[in-house]
Amino acid sequence: MRYISTRGKSEAQNFLHILLSGTAPDGGLYVPESVPQFSRQEIASWKGCHYHEIAWHIMHPFIGSDIPAPTLQKLLRHGWDNFRHPAIAPLIQWDEHIWLLELFYGPTMAFKDYSLAVLGTMIDYVLNENGQRAVLLAATSGDTGSAAIEGFAHSKQMDIVILHPHGKISEIQRRQMTTVTYPHVHNIAIEGNFDDCQKIIKHFFQMNDLANRRLIAANSINWGRIMCQIIYYFTSALSIGSTDTDINYTIPSGNFGNAYAAHLARKMGLPIHKIHVAVNSNHIVHHFFQTGEYRIRPAQHTISPSMDVAAASNFERLLFEICEKDSVAVSNFIQQQETGCVTVPSSLLGAIRQEFSSCSISDEATMQMMERSYLQHHYLPDPHTAVGLSSQMQLHDAEKGHNNIVLATAHPAKFPQQIPSQAPTPQLPAHLSDLTTRPERYTRLPNNFAAVRQHLLEQL
């Protein structure tokens, strides 16, 4: 499989190249030249398969011969070994038509583990084979950082650099990153928000300059992340038994990676009716779906911090596809968006709305949903999942008739401040039980690329 840039000015690359990189040199994002497709019968025949077997079906067409088949199968067989649930991503019934897809059984209790665990073993394998070293770079809105650290914890080939927005993630989220004792992990708190961190990371990839080291992205700008996130749409549809009737997915969204992965699952043949994008009060994407106008506003701090994103990176990938791979149109869109506001033609908006709907949920409504879910359904969701459930409630009746799967993207124990007073505080798992007393290690830096670069040149 070859991968091309959404901005059309970089050469096509193979899978291993894009796995071990970040943005394309032209600033765009890599996407596969074509998307593999499966018939409904083929998908139905995977029923009863283990998570890693479905992973194989989904991933090997994207990887091709870049990783030998027996090696890839072995990597996948052990990819989710340290997860705490035998189904890896279990489905829980919430009411008659609504299921929750629980994606928090990995080591850091948010869905980012599901892709970073296996990418960690895959990237480590490739670097080892080639005798290469690299620096893993990530900006985190709270959960990517710790998942990347755990995914690459035992790598001898990597340095890990994580930028988080100072004071804008939960204490548990921060401590999951800053209390680790691995010497190859470098945590930096940026005096800014997630978008500032993401900009600095993208700047590193465009300059491609950190003392000649190979740079690899852990964010969903890395296509490998998206590929791994397609898997649980297939496993959940199979376990609901819905390979011939259409399902709706409701996806708590920030950087739009998970929602874009759902879109790919649909293109690959999974019968998805609507992808419902649930956002908090950072509603740029929601406003776009409503009006066709994409207007950047600074991110606000909410009680679902992992979704406090203004400029959603993966939106560019969706746009590229909807524009039928017109990289000039995408480049123009990105340029105009950076200067304020851009509106797409109504024909494009129409195409997007065939597949996507959206909803924006306030902090107040999020807290009400946490309480309601606990009291009426005996299920305590985390704030991000509650944004999803609350959006789900606002779907039109025509859409409600389907089977609906809401993604439960994090465990409530990560956000103890938000637990409703009626509910007991959920416990952290044993490996994190002393998290709040462990010493922390991180460096606070201004929101400035040069300052971060200088710091890393001294540290690495």
Which residue numbers are catalytic? 112
Binding footprint of ligand PLP, residue count (CB under 6 A): 18
Residue 287 Cβ vs ligand PLP, minimum distance, rounded to whole Å: 16
Q: Binding string to ligand PLP for residues 382 to 401, with x set by CB under 6 A, is what?
A: --x-----------------
79 DSSP assignment: T
User: Residue 27, Cα to own-chain centre: how many angstroms?
Assistant: 19
Residue 205's alpha-carbon distances to 25, 165, 223, 357, 459, in angstroms, are 7, 19, 14, 32, 19
Q: By CB under 6 A, is residue 256 in contact with ligand PLP?
A: yes
Q: Quick count: other Cβ atoms within 10 Å of Cβ 42? A: 12
Straight-line distance from the first to the last Cα atom of the chain, in angstroms, rounded to the nearest whole number: 34
Q: DSSP string covering 326-348, please?
A: -HHHHHHHHHHHHTSEEE--HHH
From 252, 292, 381, 412, residue interacting with ligand PLP (rule: CB under 6 A): 252
**In the complex, minimum distance from the CB of residue 143 to ligand PLP, in angstroms, rounded to a whole number:** 3
**Residue of the chain from 102, 113, 124, 143 that contacts ligand PLP (CB under 6 A):** 143
Residues of span 328-387 touching ligand PLP by CB under 6 A: 384
Instruction: Write out the two tokens for 206.
Output: 């465009």
In the complex, least distance from residue 141 CB atom to ligand PLP, rounded to whole angstroms: 6
Backbone angles phi, psi at 284, to 5 degrees: -60, -45
CA–CA gap between residue 227 and residue 210 (Å, rounded):
27
253 is a site residue for ligand PLP (CB under 6 A): yes
Name which of 200, 218, 185 is nearest 20 in CA terms. Answer: 218
Q: Which of 157, 178, 236, 258 binds ligand PLP (CB under 6 A)?
A: 258
Q: In angstroms, rounded to a whole number, what is the distance separating the alpha carbons of residues 15 and 126?
A: 11
Cα–Cα distance, 228 to 234 (Å, whole number): 11
Site for ligand PLP in 405-444 (CB under 6 A): 409-410
- Choice from 255, 281, 302, 327 touching ligand PLP (CB under 6 A): 255
CB of 424 to ligand PLP, least distance (A): 21
What minimum distance in Å lies between the beta carbon of 91 and ligand PLP? 18
Nearest to 15 by CA among 224, 226, 174: 224
Position 220 contacts ligand PLP (CB under 6 A):
yes
Beta-strand relationship, 341-343 and 293-295: antiparallel
CA 144, CA 368: separation in Å to the nearest integer?
27
Stretch that binds ligand PLP, among 159-167, 247-255, 263-271, 344-352 (CB under 6 A): 247-255
Q: Which stretch binds ligand PLP (CB under 6 A): 248-256, 292-300, 361-369, 390-398?
A: 248-256
One residue of 27, 151, 257, 292 binding ligand PLP per CB under 6 A: 257
Residue 275, token pair as written in the block? 């992808």
Q: Enumerate residues 98-127 that contact ligand PLP by CB under 6 A.
A: 110, 112
- Taking CB under 6 A as the rule, does residue 286 contact ligand PLP? no
Q: Which is nearer to ligand PLP, 127 or 408 (by Cβ)?
A: 408
Pairing of strands 356-360, 341-343: unpaired
- Contact between 185 and ligand PLP by CB under 6 A: the answer reads no
Among the listed residues 79, 107, 254, 381, the single contact to ligand PLP using CB under 6 A: 254
Residues found near ligand PLP in the complex (CB under 6 A): 110, 112, 142-143, 220, 252-259, 306-307, 384, 409-410
